[in-house]
RNA sequence: GCCCCCGUUGUGUAGCGGCCUAGCACGCCUGCCUCUCACGCAGGUAGCGCCGGUUCGAAUCCGGUCGGGGGUACCA
């Protein structure tokens, strides 16, 4: 079928079909995002399918993580797990009958043949023939009944292979333009195991056909499987199983530091790490979108809605991109700063509880204190976990209050530091009323004017003694929120 | 080895034959602001892998070369 991506002549149907074999990584999210954005842009359907044909490697835990990740990211699907759809089931492990049926039809029309060779035998023949081509050599393509019987008598069980046509397979890749493979380099591939279990090579195209997928957008790592899938799709069309061959677009890979494909082992690639560190889904998605696509020449912070509006698969860059944690953080920070204080508070709440800063449920007093404190921190954090770091001093029990050792040694446990803390203690004891403005006046008068200290030198020790760190919300406001009693208590403990 | 893909500052990109003495963002470096951090503001740094060709004119087109990546399973 020919579906124009510019002016959609028929309903766009795309799918995202991960294998549940590990924890979701950034490539997973980017592929999901592009498919989702493409579907939404064209008013099409986004299908979520689980490719769990490999029983050895697929796990339920991973399946749940994949579903949970898409939910967390806010990439909603129209058909798939949890929501169903007209082309279900959407887990391949539940579709075995469908595959067996297709396999039988393919065999009946000689699109496939039984192969009795072992991988080693085929490789040995290739080597003996001095062939540069790897993979199966088509030995069993036209076996006689006698040969077949002989293999069976040896106790061999066949696998099914697809008969690759001669010539070249060429397609107009949505991202790369014309791509062509000579089929002499594409061996007849296996469609199922000797035990009858269907393989990815069969089920992926079959499901795309059965689910009426119009556009396949996937990673470049699958580029070389496309010359195998297109002939299979054509066979399915010929047999009346499919309505047409989908269009293909191969997305650039996301590379890690060493310019290698980001591996599942790399902690930088795991999505949950970003969630747990307090990245915003929209921030992460925005950054991921940038890896291969730009919304405009002079802008890189945008919302999902804006992306849907502007996304065109033809604008996707074919070259692989390096994942840059710093830029990812910067984009996330931009999204954080676009949120209102109330929104940052809502989003930070689970982190504050997780980190033990707040109790669950939050007490009315803490809730009030939180609302007073958030305006001072919301604008200075880049990710949600930083809220916990900034606010811990305010909510923690005095018994558990700790001062950073390094900061303490450097700023408080020095002669100058001790003098500042002592003077501050004496001055603050008499401050009336206990307000940020008065505290500011008194401390400035005492430390800066009377003692002749530079502001940054003067307030450093006080900040560390009272908040436990050199980085904190504004000092005077922090003191006001902490209250006179706790403030003086902490200053006192910092002495000696 | 073989097949395929890719090649603009450190990183991600804009550029689609003259608007480019190459724009934007992150990073990095300088300042300013300033009670820390962050924000904000003003500057700076650094790039078309290389060689040919086409053309009046090339980052943009063609060829080659080099480099990087992916794939080469009864994994997906």
pLDDT tens for chain A, 496 residues long, are 334 444 445 799 999 999 999 899 999 999 999 999 999 999 999 999 999 998 889 999 999 999 999 999 999 999 999 999 999 899 999 999 999 999 999 999 999 999 999 988 988 898 888 888 888 999 999 999 999 999 999 999 999 999 999 999 999 999 999 999 999 999 999 999 999 999 999 999 999 999 999 999 999 999 999 999 999 999 999 999 999 999 999 999 998 866 677 777 677 788 999 999 999 999 999 999 999 999 999 999 999 999 999 999 999 999 999 999 999 999 999 999 999 999 999 999 999 999 999 999 999 999 999 999 999 999 889 999 999 999 999 999 999 999 998 889 888 888 889 999 999 999 999 998 999 999 999 999 999 989 888 888 899 999 999 999 999 999 999 999 999 999 999 999 998 7
| Number of continuous H segments (helices) and E segments (strands) in chain A | 20, 11
Q: Which nucleotides of B are covered by protein (CB under 7 A)?
A: 1-8, 10-15, 23-28, 34-40, 68-76
Q: Which amino acid residue lies closest to nucleotide B3, measuring CA to C1'?
A: A185
The set of catalytic residues of A is 264
Which of helix, strand or coil describes residue A316? Answer: coil
Task: Round and report the angstrom distance from CA (A322) to C1' (B47).
Answer: 17
What would the two tokens of residue A347 be?
């989003």
Domains, chain A, ordered by start? 13-79+203-255 (3.40.50.620), 101-192 (3.90.800.10), 339-386 (1.10.8.70), 399-494 (1.10.10.350)
Q: Which amino acid residue lies closest to nucleotide B12, measuring CA to C1'?
A: A291
- Using C1' positions and the CA of A314, the closest nucleotide is B16
Task: Round and report the angstrom distance from CA (A34) to C1' (B23).
Answer: 26
Task: Round and report the angstrom distance from CA (A46) to C1' (B34).
Answer: 50
What would the two tokens of residue A377 be?
């921190």
How would DSSP label each residue in A225-281? GHHHHHHHHHHHHHTTS-S-PPEEEEEPPEE-TTSSBPPTT-GGGBHHHHHHHT--H
Task: Round and report the angstrom distance from CA (A398) to C1' (B34).
Answer: 30
Task: Round and report the angstrom distance from CA (A305) to C1' (B34).
Answer: 37
- Using C1' positions and the CA of A443, the closest nucleotide is B35
End-to-end Cα spacing for chain A:
82
Task: Round and report the angstrom distance from CA (A218) to C1' (B71).
Answer: 15
- Using C1' positions and the CA of A476, the closest nucleotide is B35
A160, A199 Cβ separation under 8 angstroms = no
> What pLDDT shows up at residue A258?
65
Q: Which amino acid residue lies closest to nucleotide B27, measuring CA to C1'?
A: A326
A290, A322 Cβ separation under 8 angstroms = no
- Using C1' positions and the CA of A250, the closest nucleotide is B5
Give the predicted TM-score (pTM) of the model.
0.93
The CA distances from residue A414 to A113, A439, A460, in Å, are 84, 24, 12
User: Residue A463, Cβ neighbours under 10 Å: how many?
Assistant: 24
Complex ipTM > 0.90: yes
* Whole-angstrom distance, CA of residue A159 vs CA of residue A138: 13
Q: What pairs with residue A162 in β-bridges? A: A112
> What pLDDT shows up at residue A1?
38
A207, A49 Cβ separation under 8 angstroms = yes
A415, A392 Cβ separation under 8 angstroms = no
* Whole-angstrom distance, CA of residue A117 vs CA of residue A355: 58
The CA distances from residue A464 to A387, A415, A434, A443, in Å, are 17, 15, 20, 15
> What pLDDT shows up at residue A282?
96
Q: Which amino acid residue lies closest to nucleotide B75, measuring CA to C1'?
A: A54
> What pLDDT shows up at residue A410?
87
- Using C1' positions and the CA of A334, the closest nucleotide is B39
> What pLDDT shows up at residue A135?
87
Which of helix, strand or coil describes residue A68? Answer: helix
For A44-79, give one letter per residue: b (16+ CB within 10 A) or e: bbbbbbbbbbeeeebeeebbebbbebbebbebebeb
Q: Which amino acid residue lies closest to nucleotide B37, measuring CA to C1'?
A: A471
DSSP strand pairing (A159-162 vs A112-115): antiparallel
For A142-163, give one letter per residue: b (16+ CB within 10 A) or e: ebeeeeeeebeeeebebbbbbe
């Amino acid at each position: 079928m020919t579906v124009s991506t510019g002016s959609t002549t028929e309903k766009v149907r795309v799918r995202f079909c991960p294998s549940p074999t590990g924890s979701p990584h950034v490539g997973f999210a980017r592929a999901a995002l592009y498919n989702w954005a493409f579907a939404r842009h064209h008013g099409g359907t986004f299908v979520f399918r689980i490719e769990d044909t490999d029983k050895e490697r697929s796990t339920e835990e991973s399946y749940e993580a994949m579903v949970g990740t898409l939910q967390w990211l806010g990439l909603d699907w129209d058909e798939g797990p949890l929501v169903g759809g007209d082309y279900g089931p959407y887990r391949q492990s539940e579709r075995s009958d469908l595959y067996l049926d297709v396999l039988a039809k393919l065999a009946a029309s000689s699109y496939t043949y039984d192969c009795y060779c072992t991988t080693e035998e085929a490789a040995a023949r290739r080597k003996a023939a001095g062939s540069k081509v790897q993979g199966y050599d088509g030995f069993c393509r036209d076996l006689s009944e006698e040969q077949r019987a002989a293999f069976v008598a040896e106790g061999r069980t066949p696998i099914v292979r697809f008969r690759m046509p001669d010539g070249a397979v060429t397609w107009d890749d949505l991202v790369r333009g014309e791509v062509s493979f000579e089929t002499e380099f594409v061996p007849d591939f296996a469609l199922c195991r000797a035990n009858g279990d269907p393989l990815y090579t069969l089920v992926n195209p079959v499901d795309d056909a059965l689910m009426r997928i119009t556009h396949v957008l996937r990673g470049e790592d699958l580029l070389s499987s496309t010359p195998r899938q297109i002939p299979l799709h054509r066979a399915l069309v010929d047999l009346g199983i499919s309505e047409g061959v989908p269009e293909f677009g191969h997305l650039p890979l996301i590379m890690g530091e060493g310019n290698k494909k980001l591996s599942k082992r790399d902690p930088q690639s795991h999505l949950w790490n970003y969630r747990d560190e307090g990245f915003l889904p929209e921030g992460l998605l925005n950054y991921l979108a940038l890896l291969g696509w730009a919304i405009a020449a002079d802008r890189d912070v945008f919302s999902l809605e804006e992306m849907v509006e502007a996304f065109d698969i033809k604008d996707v860059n074919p070259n692989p991109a390096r994942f840059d944690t710093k830029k990812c953080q910067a984009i996330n920070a931009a999204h954080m700063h676009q949120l209102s204080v109330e929104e940052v508070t809502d989003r930070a709440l689970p982190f504050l509880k997780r980190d033990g800063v707040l109790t669950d449920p939050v007490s009315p007093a803490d809730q009030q204190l939180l609302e007073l404190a958030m305006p001072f921190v919301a604008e200075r954090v880049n990710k949600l976990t930083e809220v916990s770091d900034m606010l811990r001093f305010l909510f923690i029990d005095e018994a558990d209050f700790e001062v950073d050792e390094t900061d303490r040694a450097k700023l408080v446990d020095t002669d100058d530091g001790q003098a500042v803390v002592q003077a501050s203690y004496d001055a603050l004891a008499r401050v009336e009323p206990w307000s940020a403005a008065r505290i500011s006046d008194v401390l400035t008068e005492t430390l800066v004017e009377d003692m002749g200290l530079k502001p940054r030198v003067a307030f450093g020790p006080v900040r560390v003694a009272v908040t436990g760190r050199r980085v904190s919300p504004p000092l005077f406001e922090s003191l006001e929120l902490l209250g006179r009693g706790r403030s003086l208590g902490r200053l006192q403990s910092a002495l000696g």
